[in-house]
Structure 1
Amino acid sequence: MVNALAGACRADKYLGVLLVIKVVVGSPVKQKPAILEQFLQSLENLDYEGLTVEYVFVDDDEGCNLLYAFAGKYANTTIFKGDNPLEYHCDEETHCWQENLIWKVAAYKDRIIEYALQARADYLFLADSDLYLHPQTVKHLLSLKKDIVSEVYWTKWALQFAPLPQVWVGDQYRLFHAERGVEYSSDEQAMKSQEFIDMLKNPGVYKVGGLGACTLISRYALERGANFKEIYNLGFIGEDRHFCVRAVALGLELYADTWYPPFHIYRESELVNLAKYKHRIARNTEHPKLTVGMLVKNESGRYLERVLQHIAQYADEVVILDDGSTDNTVAICREKLVNIVHCIVENSISGFSNEVELRKTLWELAGGTNPDWIMILDADEIFEHKAAEGIRELIKDDSVDVVYFRLYDMWNESSYREDSYWIAHRVYRPFLVRYRSGYKYEWQEQPLHCGRFPINIFDRTGKQSQLRLQHFGWARPEDRVAKYFRYKELDPKAKYGVQEQYLSILDPKPNLIKWRDDE
């Protein structure tokens, strides 16, 4: 394992140096070998770039060979021997926890906490040994800068139940927000619980009342006294409940993250489904699927052929929404996309007077192709010639969800415009977004200049790319005149745009700068 000295570092304001973040990864272990093998494999696959990592296990399995084989590979591993082994029964139906077993596990976790404090770790990551972790789990949780945060996973606690999360709102396992002194009917409880569950299905970070099993804890929280000891006057079952109540009483807050859910191997029979989970991760990192979406209308004789030819170099699938073309635009799309998976949807009547509905429809069509990433382009936008390979590399970056590019407004085939109203190329704008199924996307609800992406993508982690995008929509005089009169008709009072910029479209002597391919 490599502990690189670049990446996630912290500054020591007194010494004026950068110190690498140290993380202790710990777990009490009493596990079936087939499941433990997968857990350890996922630990090996975690992204630790920029971190110093130590592993700590409490072996309650009377000398598990897999643990010691792992320690033989990684010298930064410590194994404590468990004491007084107790029988732990789990089968294909459920897991059976006895009170004395719960507090033995709590003592093991506290032993790991003590180790992390003595090792001067910045964070402790506690994970149950029946999880298969997503490679980005630790790095992502660190990026949230929370003192206590769990990555959410979903489990059928009994075979007849629907999957539920291992985080909750309050009490023993209450999944809805409740006002003190208010009684809720069973229907109200079910409805409010479903609201909480639906919320967790959207990727995000949420404040919760209880969590466990896959948790990053800061040194600050550990030094404040966060631990798993029993609170003697609290009747809740389970050491995680006592940890959470104590943490909140100490002034700490609890958070749940839903971006990178691990796979919970609650039953050996679920190893079959684990293979699908691992395949999905591999696809996302080795060859993530990119769908390009495009809104078109009467593009014949303009730039559509060039744009589609370039897109075919890097897209896995293309979705076209034709907004009532009266020329052969659709035929061009079919011809140029003959060798790539594509979908073309035709509107019989143009809907551009309410652009946001068109953008929503295009987004939904692209999302329906089961993509990892979506790029939205217009039919007169094309990346510079070297971009194809670069785009494929960009979507392999699992640490970001939005990629921003510069858009150059070409005023002819070889020059772009730059003046007070035409500086798009100085601003990085989103053109490439990781798609999250089930996420509740929100739009800027206005009929013009609504944006091509949902507005809440800006809440996600992003990065800037130096690949440039040329916009030829202004490159021909006849196109500029047509756009001028279209904006004059659709937005006569410049409610959604800038009047001065609208007027400047017809400027006879704009400031132009030569495009350079080698920039």
Structure 2
Amino acid sequence: MTVKLSIIVPILNEETFMPMYLKSATAYAHEILIADGGSTDRSMEWIRRFQQHYNIKVFSLPQTGLPYQDWDQPKVRNFLLEQATGDWVMNLDADEVFDDRICEALPEMMERTDVDVFEFPFVNFWKDPYTVRVNTAGDERWSNNIIRMWRHHIGIRYEDKKRHCFMELNGRRIFYLPRAHVDIPLYHYHYAIGPRIKFNDNRRGDVNRYDNTGEPDWNFRTQQYEIRTEPFQSKHPAVIEQYLSGQEIHPIDSN
């Protein structure tokens, strides 16, 4: 019997990332479950293109208030968990793409019986796709290992917090569960591609754009902590290279 993977993702106006995201994720997921918060851009157009070829389910869960910030994310993500049919679940946000090696590694990973949780290196790009933001004192949120995949149907759910909610099992955060580290990076392109910042995404002042208009100020420096970066010295996933070279992304390759 084939072991299956479900990917869950809430979205809101993610037209920049949808073609790259879906092109990458459909290469290894049995199903992709999307909660749309009321997108008004071309996000749904891209999703419909991929739905013609892949198992992608979309649920309309309109949000009110400030984009993303006022969305009840635990409720949304737990709803998607309830719809998932896979043996494993992966939480993969719209602006994130795994290193291409994930396709080859997943079958063996999902056959493991000694692990309930998988964690991966999380790489945050900053300003452009060739610069990585790294941790500094007082700002330890950038280059960490991150749990993004777990065994389904054992009761793991999201705790009731508005943003950056953790997963829990029986009232405890899941860090105590048997887990394995997989040295396959998950790349976060939120601050590197497209608008490079979303509405209300400047709560900490890192890019000095409080009115949410114009270009981010990447030279701005907060007084609370150091913003430190390093050159990206690895290789982007193929779909990102395709995007950066200006090639159009299609659900099915012609060759």
Q: After TM superposition, is the score higher than 0.5?
A: yes
Alignment of 1:274-293 (within 5 A): 283=1, 287-293=2-8
Structure 1 residues 450 and 511 mapped into 2: Cα distance closer, same or farther (>3 Å)?
A: same
* Aligned residue in 1 for 2:211: none
Could you say what secondary structure the match of 1:334 adopts? helix
Larger Rg: 1
* Aligned residue in 2 for 1:508: 219
**Which letter does structure 1 place at the counterpart of 2:132?**
Y
| Alpha-carbon separation, structure 2, partners of 1:355 and 1:296 | 11
Q: Does 1:458 align with 2:154?
A: no
Point out the structure with the larger helix share: 1
* Aligned residue in 2 for 1:339: 53
| Alpha-carbon separation, structure 2, partners of 1:441 and 1:417 | 31
Paired residue for 1:325, among 36, 39, 44?
39
**Which letter does structure 2 place at the counterpart of 1:308?**
L
Does 1 or 2 have the higher relative contact order (CA < 8 Å, sep 6+)?
Answer: 2
Deviates more, 1:342-351 or 1:474-483: 474-483
**Which letter does structure 2 place at the counterpart of 1:321?**
A
Paired residue for 2:92, among 361, 370, 377?
377
| Alpha-carbon separation, structure 2, partners of 1:350 and 1:394 | 38
| Alpha-carbon separation, structure 2, partners of 1:400 and 1:462 | 5
Structure 1 residues 512 and 326 mapped into 2: Cα distance closer, same or farther (>3 Å)?
A: same
* Aligned residue in 2 for 1:358: 76
C-alpha deviation, 1:357, in angstroms: 1.6
**Which letter does structure 2 place at the counterpart of 1:400?**
V
Deviates more, 1:507-516 or 1:354-363: 507-516
Q: Does 1:475 align with 2:218?
A: no
Could you say what secondary structure the match of 1:362 adopts? helix
Q: Does 1:424 align with 2:142?
A: yes
C-alpha deviation, 1:450, in angstroms: 1.3
Q: Does 1:307 align with 2:18?
A: no
| Alpha-carbon separation, structure 2, partners of 1:511 and 1:349 | 34
Q: TM-score, normalised by structure 2?
A: 0.74
| Alpha-carbon separation, structure 2, partners of 1:404 and 1:289 | 18
C-alpha deviation, 1:336, in angstroms: 2.2
Q: Aligned-pair RMSD on alpha carbons?
A: 2.4
**Which letter does structure 1 place at the counterpart of 2:77?**
R
- Count of aligned pairs between the two proteins: 211
CA contact (8 A) 2:33 2:57 kept: yes
| Alpha-carbon separation, structure 1, partners of 2:35 and 2:185 | 24
**Which letter does structure 2 place at the counterpart of 1:503?**
G
Structure 1 residues 457 and 338 mapped into 2: Cα distance closer, same or farther (>3 Å)?
A: farther
| Alpha-carbon separation, structure 1, partners of 2:182 and 2:64 | 34
CA contact (8 A) 1:400 1:461 kept: yes
CA contact (8 A) 1:402 1:460 kept: yes
CA contact (8 A) 1:318 1:341 kept: yes
Structure 1 residues 409 and 432 mapped into 2: Cα distance closer, same or farther (>3 Å)?
A: same
Structure 1 residues 403 and 329 mapped into 2: Cα distance closer, same or farther (>3 Å)?
A: same
C-alpha deviation, 1:503, in angstroms: 2.5
C-alpha deviation, 1:407, in angstroms: 1.0
Structure 1: runs of 5+ lacking an equivalent: 1-282, 488-501
C-alpha deviation, 1:422, in angstroms: 5.3
CA contact (8 A) 2:78 2:157 kept: no
Structure 2: runs of 5+ lacking an equivalent: 209-217, 221-226, 237-255
| Alpha-carbon separation, structure 1, partners of 2:36 and 2:101 | 28
Q: Residues 15-62 of structure 1, C-alpha deviation per residue, up to 9 Å, x if partnerless?
A: xxxxxxxxxxxxxxxxxxxxxxxxxxxxxxxxxxxxxxxxxxxxxxxx
| Alpha-carbon separation, structure 2, partners of 1:296 and 1:332 | 12
Q: TM-score, normalised by structure 1?
A: 0.38
CA contact (8 A) 1:312 1:337 kept: no
Q: Does 1:316 align with 2:34?
A: no
